[in-house]
Amino acid sequence: MEKLIELDQDLFLYLNGLGTTSFDSFWMFVTGKWNAIPLYIVLVYLLYKKIGVKATLITVFVVGLMIASTDQLANLFKKVLFLRLRPCHDEVIYDAMRLVKSHCGGRYGYFSAHAASSMALAVFLGKIFKQYIKYLPAFLLVWAFFVGYSRIYIGVHYPADVFTGMVFGTLIALLMFKFQQFLIYKFLR
């Protein structure tokens, strides 16, 4: 286990060290959860155009449950189960890393709720949109990977935090997609 933690720290320092002040504002924008609101508005509009009002309302409800699930599961892992320090709170590597944000965030970081939520949204909506808009699922996955990498770039998550978040986000998205399909069948058939 120690060897895995060291590898994760080394990979973090490498990826985080690739950053430069020229790109800091870009990655801070990518990582800002409120900055994606225009994207969310476009996605809701596309849902409405492709699946109708009632199915869109059901879908938005399920997305809310999905985001709450990824967020609360990440909090359970961070604050109860693992208690793994964020890199920016880890004295072992703090002096060798770049912290782009003005503050570090919560003490613990395993796993990344940002990575989980963005990947969940990308997978969930990608499954819905794949039959309507050919390249939108790929665009959403690229966006989710950018959000995940931004957490490493700004210095608040290790790569394992991001990877685990993406795995849990994918699994939760697949479950929630089945739930959404069930609700649509039950109420709109």
Supply the pTM of this predicted model. Answer: 0.94
Q: Which two tokens stand for residue 20?
A: 């430069």
pLDDT of 185: 93
Confidence class of residue 188 from pLDDT cuts 50, 70 and 90? confident
Domain ranges for the chain, please list them. 36-188
Q: Which two tokens stand for residue 178?
A: 């089945």
Tens of pLDDT along 105-157?
899 999 999 999 999 999 999 999 999 999 999 999 999 999 999 999 999 99
Q: Is pLDDT at 189 greater than 90 in this prediction?
A: no
Q: Which two tokens stand for residue 8?
A: 């994760």
124: helix, strand or coil? helix
Tens of pLDDT along 21-47?
999 999 999 999 899 999 999 999 999
Query: Which of residues 189 and 145 earns the better pLDDT score?
Result: 145
Contacts of 173 (CB under 8 A, 6+ apart): 66, 119, 120, 121, 122, 123, 124, 127
Q: How far is CA 27 from CA 6, 50, 135, 171, in A?
A: 25, 32, 23, 26
Tens of pLDDT along 76-95?
999 999 999 999 999 989 99
pLDDT of 139: 97
